[in-house]
Amino acid sequence: MEKRAYHHGALREAMVEAGVALARTGGPSAVVLRAVGRRVGVSHNAAYRHFADREDLLAAVAAGCMTELGRLMLRRTAEVRETDPVQRAWSRLEAIGRAYIDFATTENGWFRTAFSGATAHPGAASKADGRSDPPSGAGAGAEAGAGADTTDPYVLLGRQLDELVAVGAVPAERRPGAHYAAWSAVHGLSALLVDGPLRDLPEDERRLAADTVLATVARGL
């Protein structure tokens, strides 16, 4: 396998990048320290300087896969062209939901890895650079004060729901907890399409399923 070069002092980042590449085609089972070490051209022992064990590596890679989901959400919302504030807010919410479902069905490996449940060890960071990974994914809420450039899907969903309230499309009293319902509905369908009894649905039925779930979420708000 081709080895990837990395800058001095950035081995941890290179290993996460390599893990994300492996996860894309092989899912969470492909993310192992030895394979990642080979991909970046370092020894197994060197890999352990940056990750306590395989679970620690998988947690960092899962966060990277979640970032890929967030980036797709951002691209899809940026493509919305409606000028009416209310319609634009609804279209952006729909774009986020469709991005989530599309990510699950077209990037199975990243989707499975992002939600693999791996947990980083407390304070587990590279002994060489002394840094730790920031919270990512569903563990970080919209109230966490993330910057405007965040790629956290949970935060992006929360901001879009806030926009619906701001433009008067959703009553403020319905906002608390709405992110849980929206996330659960879209994730549930995604999981059913990827690994559940809906995985063999023909494409037209998949589109119908997505349309129905997203419309139901919107009506519920």
Query: How does pLDDT run across 190-220, given as a tens digit for each residue?
Result: 999 999 999 999 999 999 999 999 999 999 9
| Whether residue 60 has pLDDT greater than 90 | yes
| Whether residue 14 has pLDDT greater than 60 | yes
Burial, 104: exposed, middle or buried (Cβ in 10 Å; 0-12, 13-18, 19+)?
A: buried
Model pTM? 0.84
pLDDT band, residue 147 (cuts 50/70/90) = low
Q: Which pair of structure tokens corresponds to residue 138?
A: 């569903």
| Whether residue 127 has pLDDT greater than 70 | no
pLDDT band, residue 146 (cuts 50/70/90) = very low
pLDDT in tens, 71-86: 999 999 999 999 999 9
pLDDT in tens, 21-58: 999 999 999 999 989 988 988 877 777 788 888 899 99
CA distance 160 to 155: 9
Q: HSE of 150 in the Cβ direction (CA atoms, 13 Å)?
A: 21
Q: How many helices (H) and strands (E) does the chain have?
A: 9, 0
Across 46-55, 129-138, 161-170, least confident range: 129-138
| Whether residue 141 has pLDDT greater than 70 | no
Q: Which pair of structure tokens corresponds to residue 50?
A: 């940056």
Q: What phi and psi values does residue 69 have, to the nearest 5 degrees? A: -65, -45
Q: Which pair of structure tokens corresponds to residue 139?
A: 């563990």
Q: Which pair of structure tokens corresponds to residue 112?
A: 């499975």
pLDDT given for residue 63 in this prediction: 96
CA distance 165 to 93: 12
